[in-house]
């Protein structure tokens, strides 16, 4: 069975899917047409129903629930891994509502978490996540919501943390932070969905069996990152919840969905 499969080129996703898409494990008859794209592109494609299996921000779940189901394996969910609000000059949280904020996509979990923390902040500028640091540095935006590897680089550029929005979420809900998950089209047979879920689990187990060695696949897609940053990225976003969301993970996703509805 051939499936279109979308995920980001970030190390956490390529680490998870490497063994599966490069036949390092037995794929049991599955083959994949892979698309590596920024997560907001994948979010927008899912609204159009473009791919069979795809990484998505949990924030877009409500918009695609009629087309896609969440798999148990492959998610980015945890503690201490949420998006950060950063600025060039010191900025008090009460000042944020009056500022221009760069966000990494309208449908991202980062935007949803920012909106939960700062419901009065309406002046948002949508950008590709990798452009946000420079936008804040050159004055295009007063502050920015950063994700992925930018968590490890913003201080080196002289930028300052205004708030850790993952920390805010954890403190106000008690739940881990649901960032993104792997979703599959509802019209794919349940037994095929279950088989693929297990294969993603096995693909990640294979990656862990080689770790901390990084494959060429991971390194080739992690542009402008040294291996230490790649490992930081993997250590932050890949964990037990990536192997299996479990009861705690699903509870956190449900809490985020309730917050999104509000």
DSSP secondary structure of 63-117: HHTTTEEE-SSS-EEESS---EEEESS---GGGGGGS-EEES-TTSHHHHHHHHH
Domain shared by 139 and 186, yes or no: no
CA-nearest of 62, 50, 58, 70 to 6 is: 50
- Per-residue pLDDT tens over the stretch 171-195: 999 999 999 999 999 999 999 999 9
Q: What is the pTM of this model?
A: 0.91
Domain shared by 52 and 169, yes or no: no
CA–CA distance, 235 with 230 (Å, rounded to integer): 9
CA-nearest of 162, 96, 83 to 124 is: 96
Domain shared by 20 and 74, yes or no: yes
Q: Annotated binding site, which residues? A: 55-57, 109-110
CA-nearest of 22, 233, 32 to 129 is: 233
Straight-line distance from the first to the last Cα atom of the chain, in angstroms, rounded to the nearest whole number: 40
User: What pLDDT, on the 0 to 100 scale, is given for residue 105?
Assistant: 87
Q: Residue 148 catalytic?
A: yes
Domain shared by 201 and 248, yes or no: yes
Provide mean pLDDT across the span 227-238: 92
Domain shared by 190 and 205, yes or no: yes
Q: Annotated binding site for substrate, which residues? A: 55-57, 109-110
Domain shared by 158 and 101, yes or no: yes
User: What pLDDT, on the 0 to 100 scale, is given for residue 35?
Assistant: 98
Residues contacting residue 111 through CB under 8 Å, at least 6 positions apart: 59, 103, 104, 105, 124, 145
Range of the domain at 191: 2-78+177-261
Domain shared by 56 and 92, yes or no: no
Mean pLDDT score of the chain, rounded to an integer? 95
Provide mean pLDDT across the span 51-57: 97
* 130: confidence class by pLDDT, cuts 50, 70, 90: confident
Domain shared by 150 and 93, yes or no: yes
> Of 173, 189, 207, which residue sits at a domain end?
173
Domain of 210: which CATH number?
3.40.190.10
Picking from 113-117, 135-139, 146-150, 155-159, which range would have the lowest pLDDT averaged per residue? 146-150
> Of 173, 201, 236, which residue sits at a domain end?
173
Domain count, the chain: 2
Classify each residue of 199-221 as buried b or exposed e, where b means 16 or more C-beta atoms within 10 Å of its C-beta.
Answer: bbbbbbebbeeeeeebbebbeeb
Domain shared by 13 and 63, yes or no: yes
Domain shared by 182 and 150, yes or no: no
User: What pLDDT, on the 0 to 100 scale, is given for residue 224?
Assistant: 65
Domain shared by 66 and 89, yes or no: no
Query: Phi and psi of 84, rounded to 5°?
Result: -115, 145
> Of 111, 145, 173, which residue sits at a domain end?
173
* 261: confidence class by pLDDT, cuts 50, 70, 90: confident
Domain shared by 151 and 231, yes or no: no
Q: Where are the alpha helices (DSSP H) in the chain?
A: 11-21, 39-47, 61-64, 109-117, 132-137, 165-173, 190-210, 216-221, 227-237, 240-243, 246-261
């Amino acid at each position: 069975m051939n499936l279109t499969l979308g995920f980001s080129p970030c190390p956490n996703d390529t680490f998870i899917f490497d063994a599966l898409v490069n036949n390092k494990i037995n794929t049991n008859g599955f083959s994949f047409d892979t698309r590596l794209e920024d997560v907001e592109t994948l979010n927008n494609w899912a609204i159009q129903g473009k791919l069979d299996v795809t990484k998505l921000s949990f924030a877009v779940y409500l918009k695609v629930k009629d087309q896609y189901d969440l798999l148990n394996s492959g998610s980015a969910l945890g503690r201490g891994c949420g998006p950060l609000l950063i600025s060039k000059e010191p900025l008090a949280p009460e000042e944020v509502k009056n500022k221009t904020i760069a966000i990494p996509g309208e449908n991202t979990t980062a935007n949803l978490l920012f909106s939960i923390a700062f419901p009065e902040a309406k002046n948002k500028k949508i950008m590709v996540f990798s452009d946000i640091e420079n936008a804040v540095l050159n004055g295009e935006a007063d502050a920015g919501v950063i994700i992925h590897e930018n968590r490890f680089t913003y201080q080196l550029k002289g930028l300052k943390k205004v708030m850790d929005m993952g920390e805010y979420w954890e403190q106000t809900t008690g739940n881990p932070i649901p960032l993104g998950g792997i979703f599959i089209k509802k019209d794919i047979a349940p037994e095929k969905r279950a088989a693929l879920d297990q294969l993603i689990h096995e693909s990640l187990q294979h990656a862990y069996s080689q770790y901390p060695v990084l494959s060429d696949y991971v390194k080739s897609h992690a542009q402008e990152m040294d291996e230490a940053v790649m490992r930081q990225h993997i250590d932050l976003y890949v964990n037990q919840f990536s192997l299996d969301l479990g009861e705690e993970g699903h509870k956190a996703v449900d809490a985020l969905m309730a917050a999104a509805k509000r």
